[in-house]
Structure 1
Amino acid sequence: MARFWNFSAGPSMLPYDVLNQISIDVLDWNSTGISVTDINHRSKYFEIIYNQAESDLRALLGLSSDYCILFIQGGGQGANAVVPMNMIGMNGINRADFIISGYWSYKSYLEACKYGDVSIVADNGYTTKIDCNDYGPYTWFPENKSIKTREGSSYLQFCSNETINGVEFVDWGDIANSINKDAVLVVDASSNFLTRVLDIDDTGVVFACAQKNAGISGVTIFIVRKDLIGNALNICPSIFDYMNLFHGHSRYNTPPVFAIYVSGLVFKWLRRNGGVKKMESNNLEKSRMLYDFMDSTSFYINKIHPSVRSRVNIPFHLKNDLLTNIFIEKAENRGLMNIRGHRSVGGLRASIYNAMPIDGVMDLINYMRDFECYYG
């Protein structure tokens, strides 16, 4: 059976080995005679699945005992509410700050505004970077030295990789050292979680929805520093209270059993294939190949400042936007799927997460070269 290359920003492609194991376990998990879809979340079988998934993820991240791992429902947008409901009141005045670097960080900010005094302390959407005059809104990341939190703010939140805009920022330590001592960093790492080494020790909370590099839709992974647990607002639903989730081992209510199981398989696959450092090397090579090709021609345009170009979400436009729909149609005929850009920005986008092999990127580059030869 022919398999297409899925360049979707999410749900993304899963490794073939993971898909193969799922096909077995759906009928008979671990030779128990029970389908993995039938496993009860209070059973000894799920205990095995859950504990192994948590252990493998902790090993992949090199996570210290200061942090806990929570598997939460609600997706990335749900996480935008879970965070303020658990953290905005930590310093007693319901205050939080945000860095806006694109579509998703702005969505996070709007959601947090419902729960207290929320401010934008840095924004790359409405000002022009002094040395980047050729780059427009949401194509670079605010300079670290300009980022300060307000007095009394509980946390500073930002998005480490803007899935739509293609801006990636990973120098978390510089920001952690510049903010008010009473504030902690909260990072939405949904798109680059497990794709490169990230400095989680510099943060209070990191969250990532799974359907990009860590499994399928239905579960969002939270890495929470334990001393931050226990500060939920009274309006926080019990199922989203860090305290309940921590003490209930993410089973305060029925968790997304199948999604956690799939994430566990992905974690095993990552460990078998060199872990996060190997993924970082692979993603650097894949993205460099694609950027180098685009930079070699004026037919394809990537507008992101080179210093913060994402390694995993690569938006681009054709010199002639009228050719975009033709490009997409012919790409699908070549087995290159889900290449259309997000509706908010248009154009095209190639998401080349961990499970996308170099062969898939090469097929895309070869198609882009052929398309340019014909239409350029």
Structure 2
Amino acid sequence: MNTQAPAETPTKKAPHRVPNFCAGPATMPTAVLERAQEELLDWQGSGMSVMEISHRSKDYIAVAQKAETKLRSLMDIPDNYKVLFLQGGASLQFSAIPLNLLNGGRADYLTTGTWSVKAIKEAQRYEKLGLGDINLVATGKDNKFTDVPTQSDWNISDDAAYFHYCANETIHGLQIFEPPQVDATLIVDMSSCILSQPIDVSKFGMIYAGAQKNIGPAGLVIIIIREDLLGQASEWCPMLLNYEHQVEKESMSNTPATYSWYLAGLVFDWLEEQGGVAAIGKINQQKAALLYQTIDDSSFYNNPVALKHRSIMNVPFTLADSNLDKVFLEQSEKAGLFNLKGHRDVGGMRASIYNAVPLEWVQLLVNFMKDFEKQYG
């Protein structure tokens, strides 16, 4: 007779999620990752992963169309705008934009940090090839990109084909909340602030954003472009960078980043469940206000960005004694707070508090900062 007790079926433990303040690839919603995990090996009863099925199949096309429909709803995108889900990240658009839109004309660029500087440098390569003129409207370099130059001092062109700027500089923590008041068509990089608060899409000719902040995993870039801007590409524009061609092929000129596209759709579902962009925007304001208040109430921490341009997504801060930086990072990790090291161009610390970062994580960070100041301040 077997008297051995039957083995207990192990209970599935909830995943241990640590506060992750990485600037990108960034934290994704836990609910999204759990759903993706559940569907990984058997998507919708197919016995296959969604990343294993053809992007041309009716099942995957339904995934793609649903993701676009959800994004259009979340951002209230007008009907005269096309939405593309492409590859290459936002940085590839630094080339695609002048190749599609410069067309022998002139373009204005505002530089307010690392990413807008990279954008104009890439555009200037095409200027050297004779594809058009690139005009630097103004730069915040003199103030170390802590403020936006006053618009009355801008060197704005009379006939610019477009005006390019970056809405949120991830590295410097500087955000432009209202679109510049210019006559030219606005082209904006929203990689690190898209879907973080409501915007009026109709004010822009084109919005583009790398996915790895608020949309999903790296490998995808979202482009929202007004229809009248299509069909202007230079003859030198590669086919895969031609917006009109990609619209005709519904973002599938070649095999797209299918899994990233699928995950983006799950993130859009999650955002909708949170109450949409307006609701998540209120939470983002709370998170940013809590963190900035902690910094401002202290003589130990400092944020150098002009108050009206402080990012609600990326919060850089320095310690009064930079010799304590290493200690801060070591102890913050011991406390379970990860990826707080600032970018090498700025130094100090940086907390990226994108949509998927809950308010509770920011409260844990604030508590640690206060305790650290008591100990070392």
Aligned amino acid, residue 150 of structure 2: E
Deviation at 1:223, TM superposition (A): 0.5
Give the number of equivalent residue pairs: 358
Distance 1:203 1:335 in 2: 41
**Alpha-carbon distance in structure 1 between the residues aligned to 2:106 and 2:126:** 9
Give distance in 1, aligned partners of 2:271 and 2:58. 25
Identify the match of residue 157 of structure 2 among 125, 150, 153: 150
Partner of 1:244: 245
TM-score for both structures, normalised by structure 1: 0.93
TM-score scaled by length of structure 2: 0.93
Does residue 1:6 correspond to 2:6, yes or no? no
Indicate if the aligned counterparts of 1:314 and 1:350 stay in contact, CA closer than 8 A. yes
Which residue does 1:132 correspond to in 2? none
1:119 to 135, 140, 146: 135
Task: Name the SS for the 1:9 alignment partner.
Answer: coil
Residue identity in the other structure for 2:366:
I
User: Aligned partners of 1:235, 1:166: CA distance in 2, in Å?
Assistant: 35
Alignment counterpart, residue 70 of structure 1, candidates 69, 84, 100: 84
Once the 2 structures are TM-superposed, how far is the Cα of residue 80 of structure 1 from its aligned partner?
0.9
Q: Could you tell me how far 1:10 is from its partner in structure 2?
A: 0.4
In the alignment, the residues of structure 1 paired with residue 329 and residue 308 of structure 2 have an alpha-carbon distance, to the nearest angstrom, of 28
Q: Counterparts of 2:287 and 2:302 in 1: how far apart (Å)? A: 18
Aligned equivalents of 2:336, 2:225: Cα separation in 1: 40
| CA distance in structure 2 between the partners assigned to 1:147 and 1:224 by the alignment | 26
User: Is 1:44 paired with 2:44?
Assistant: no
Is the CA contact (8 Å cut-off) linking 1:105 and 1:159 kept in structure 2? Answer: yes
Check conservation: 1:168, 1:309, Cα contact below 8 A: yes
2:28 aligned with 1:21, yes or no?
no
- Whichever residue aligns with residue 321 of structure 2, its letter is N
1:124 to partner: Cα distance: 1.7
Structure 1 residue 143, shift from structure 2 partner: 2.5
Distance of 1:83 and 1:25 partners within structure 2 = 37
Match of 1:95 in 2: 106
Distance 2:350 2:90 in 1: 20
1:300 equivalenced with 2:301 (yes/no): yes
8 Å CA contact 2:78–2:201 kept in 1: the answer is: no
**How far off is 1:145 after superposition?**
3.7
Give yes or no for the alignment of 1:59 onto 2:59: no
After superposition, give the CA deviation of every residue in 1:59-94 in whole Å (9 maximum; x if it has no partner): 0000111101001111121111111111111xxx23
CA contact (8 A) 1:159 1:188 kept: yes
Do the aligned partners of 1:170 and 1:198 also contact (CA within 8 Å) in 2? Answer: no
- In the TM superposition, what is the alpha-carbon distance from 1:137 to its structure 2 partner? 2.3
Mapping of residues 1-376 of structure 1, within 5 Å:
1-89=15-103, 93-116=104-127, 117-126=133-142, 136-147=143-154, 149-172=156-179, 175-176=180-181, 178-179=182-183, 183-376=184-377
CA deviation string 1:40-61 (max 9, x = no partner):
1111111111000000000000
Whichever of the two has the greater Rg, that structure is: 2
- Alignment partners' CA distance in 2, 1:142 and 1:267: 35
Paired residues of 1:104 and 1:162 also in contact (CA < 8 A) = yes
Q: Distance in 1 between matches of 2:164 and 2:376?
A: 43
Q: Is the 8 A contact 2:84 2:251 kept in 1?
A: yes
**8 Å contact 2:105–2:160 — kept in the other structure?**
yes
RMSD: 1.1
Alpha-carbon distance in structure 1 between the residues aligned to 2:144 and 2:173: 12
Percent identity for Structure 1 against Structure 2: 39
Match of 1:129 in 2: none
Give the Cα separation in 2 of the matches to 1:59 and 1:147: 35
State the 1:148 CA deviation: 5.4
Give the unaligned 5+ runs of structure 2.
Answer: 1-14, 128-132
Deviations 1:249-298 (A, max 9, x none): 10011110001001000001001111100111000000000000111111
Structure 1: gaps spanning 5 or more residues = 127-135
Could you tell me how far 1:8 is from its partner in structure 2?
Answer: 0.6
Letter of the structure 2 residue corresponding to residue 107 of structure 1: K
Contact preservation (8 Å) 2:136, 2:155: no
Deviation, 1:206, is 0.5
Amino acid at match of 1:370: D
CA contact (8 A) 1:88 1:115 kept: no
* C-alpha distance in structure 2 between counterparts of 1:329 and 1:84, whole Å: 44
